[in-house]
Copies of this chain bind each other. A is one copy, B any other.
Amino acid sequence: MASTVEGGDTALLPEFPRGPLDAYRARASFSWKELALFTEGEGMLRFKKTIFSALENDPLFARSPGADLSLEKYRELNFLRCKRIFEYDFLSVEDMFKSPLKVPALIQCLGMYDSSLAAKYLLHSLVFGSAVYSSGSERHLTYIQKIFRMEIFGCFALTELSHGSNTKAIRTTAHYDPATEEFIIHSPDFEAAKFWVGNMGKTATHAVVFAKLCVPGDQCHGLHPFIVQIRDPKTLLPMPGVMVGDIGKKLGQNGLDNGFAMFHKVRVPRQSLLNRMGDVTPEGTYVSPFKDVRQRFGASLGSLSSGRVSIVSLAILNLKLAVAIALRFSATRRQFGPTEEEEIPVLEYPMQQWRLLPYLAAVYALDHFSKSLFLDLVELQRGLASGDRSARQAELGREIHALASASKPLASWTTQQGIQECREACGGHGYLAMNRLGVLRDDNDPNCTYEGDNNILLQQTSNYLLGLLAHQVHDGACFRSPLKSVDFLDAYPGILDQKFEVSSVADCLDSAVALAAYKWLVCYLLRETYQKLNQEKRSGSSDFEARNKCQVSHGRPLALAFVELTVVQRFHEHVHQPSVPPSLRAVLGRLSALYALWSLSRHAALLYRGYFSGEQAGEVLESAVLALCSQLKDDAVALVDVIAPPDFVLDSPIGRADGELYKNLWGAVLQESKVLERASWWPEFSVNKPVIGSLKSKL
């Protein structure tokens, strides 16, 4: 298969232009085309190429070098592009079901072009759309059609000005009035204004609004989602009683209009309640298929996971772009050398390799994990859709929730740190806006925050693991989960007796070494967290206090180590499967080992609490990371060629595939607006001279 495509269809994977990157490309230990086919498959490569080519050939998506877009203009352009995506209809709903991985692929392609576009499209079609689909019932299907025809435009309104993480404290109310069979949506004050809602600022006509549902003469029933019309689709003017506006400029993603809304006794029909989890009869009686609030909450975990899994993918696309830019730059930027005459590419320096190559490895490992977790989620959602209420289905929901809640922080933080490193590794040129590293950093930043603050999300994962341990201690239950991510914990007393036995760097260059260490680490942190929690409780702390006191040194590293182990495990298995072409095994094995050991090395101090001992262990780990970096540096450019989108999409003069760093940069600088022109305000220097100290008397 590979050979057909390589031979017969050069259009799918065309050769790169010749230039300064040739030297590295020639030294690569593998064929980038073969790796691209192995990683993505021909169908997916074709799908991505279709999208990228459509954008490149459509003037609406033309890049405008040097343009100083106003906020309003950028939002208009982003809306027009979003509309155009509907005209292209790259992925029909049927295709989504047939090839689910095309959903994150589409989002990655749009996000590589511009995060604001991916966000706008995703929030309307998938977040708003699935909220209606998965929380509503048959009576709401009409909205789904309107969403995909863009007759309405949607947003998802949960967060309020004064409450985000603590959703239980959300204060918008929905009182049912049986006389008119309506709910009255109301914001008690501005602190309860819905806030930060993507698409709400200027575009949305409808919102899924979360409000406390109350029926007459009865207590309130907690948060429920309502579909509320906030603007008239014919005019985009607000509906009566709705004060809706734009929250203003953000650090990034400024093509997206985040907004706020306050509701002044806005009446909506009873049918506006998205009633999958609970409903109100015309007379005003609350009914729910779930026994209690806790069970109802459990059933909604799936949709929470779905947002988090998407964010993993959004984060990684940013890291792909950043790493591609920084590594192509590093392979062509020369500075210093063994003699004064000869300068070498900065990629030849062990320091530069150590700064960048682990993030390249992280891209490969996390991207694989992201896809595999997405497929797990699809399995979960198919179960939900088919009404599967088995214990396994419930367990699967909990496991995916635990993995998603920790992998979203891992991916968003790895990307945040990786982009920063890439920015700095490109020196001043990394600080020039046109080279795009700043935009990537700014656009990635909300991934650390929305759908749950990273640090708070990690508690979900540590709580999951602590719950399993408690179950084992009290009921003698085995550690078993549908995706097997916790099964190794069954052997945990034995694992804790293990020690790091590797004494040479050569023995360390395999992800299996890191896997063993990670297993010890997770077992150790799980035991310590459990003991510390119980000790806090015994000494009089409430549950709330005890958990808070255990988070920094225990729960947080536990959750991170657990998800890192899972990422490493899955990538290790992936690169060691028999179907890996022999010519790719070496490079994939190194990527796997590098990501694993580099991640592990950040826990070295913890490993010294029982797994490591002596000077050598830490040294071996450090040296192994450096050795792998050195082994991978000649493959770096080819590995980037696999993950980088076309130049038009990458949009960074220092990161272009031809490697003509300075020609591209210089050309782009000269194309900017008014580069060589005198400033319009020149007389302020030349004519209106200051009188030094003339205002001193005013001080």
Instruction: Answer whether A695 and B84 are a contact pair too, CB < 8 Å, given A248-B66, A453-B424.
Output: yes
* Interchain CB contact (< 8 A) of A248 among B349, B675, B698: B675
The reply to whether the CB of A153 lies closer than 8 angstroms to some CB of chain B is yes
Q: A248 contacts B434, CB within 8 Å?
A: yes
Q: B433 contacts A248, CB within 8 Å?
A: yes
Query: Chain B contacts of A669 at CB under 8 A?
Result: 245, 247-248, 260
The reply to whether the CB of A665 lies closer than 8 angstroms to some CB of chain B is yes
Would you list which residues of chain A between 418 and 458 have a CB under 8 Å from chain B? 420, 423-424, 427-428, 430-434, 437-438, 441-442, 445-446, 448-450, 453-455
Query: Chain B contacts of A162 at CB under 8 A?
Result: 333-334, 662
Query: Chain B contacts of A88 at CB under 8 A?
Result: 693, 695-696, 698-699
The reply to whether the CB of A499 lies closer than 8 angstroms to some CB of chain B is no
Q: B608 contacts A612, CB within 8 Å?
A: yes
The reply to whether the CB of A94 lies closer than 8 angstroms to some CB of chain B is no
Q: A432 contacts B250, CB within 8 Å?
A: yes
Q: How far is the CA of A693 from the CA of B340 in the complex (A)?
A: 60
Query: Chain B contacts of A626 at CB under 8 A?
Result: 552-553
Distance in Å from the Cβ of A385 to the closest Cβ of chain B?
24
Distance in Å from the Cβ of A420 to the closest Cβ of chain B?
7
The reply to whether the CB of A297 lies closer than 8 angstroms to some CB of chain B is no
Q: A690 contacts B150, CB within 8 Å?
A: yes
The reply to whether the CB of A295 lies closer than 8 angstroms to some CB of chain B is no
Query: Chain B contacts of A202 at CB under 8 A?
Result: 678-679
Q: A549 contacts B79, CB within 8 Å?
A: no
Q: A608 contacts B605, CB within 8 Å?
A: yes
Q: How far is the CA of A545 from the CA of B350 in the complex (A)?
A: 10
* Interchain CB contact (< 8 A) of A431 among B66, B251, B420: B251
Distance in Å from the Cβ of A550 to the closest Cβ of chain B?
9
* Interchain CB contact (< 8 A) of A609 among B165, B246, B615: B615
| Most chain B CB within a 10 A radius of its CB, from A441, A689, A690, A693 | A690
Distance in Å from the Cβ of A514 to the closest Cβ of chain B?
15
The reply to whether the CB of A16 lies closer than 8 angstroms to some CB of chain B is no
Instruction: Answer whether A86 and B248 are a contact pair too, CB < 8 Å, given A453-B427, A665-B161.
Output: no
Query: Chain B contacts of A610 at CB under 8 A?
Result: 615
Report 20 cross-chain contacts, Cβ distance below 8 Å, ordered by A residue.
Answer: A54-B695, A54-B699, A87-B692, A87-B696, A89-B693, A92-B693, A161-B666, A165-B427, A235-B678, A245-B676, A248-B672, A251-B432, A252-B431, A350-B548, A424-B448, A424-B449, A428-B450, A553-B622, A605-B608, A610-B615
User: What would 19 more interface pairs be, CB under 8 Å, given A252-B438, A351-B552, A606-B618?
Assistant: A84-B690, A87-B694, A88-B698, A89-B696, A92-B693, A161-B666, A163-B335, A165-B335, A169-B335, A193-B666, A235-B686, A244-B676, A245-B675, A245-B676, A351-B455, A351-B548, A416-B420, A420-B420, A428-B450
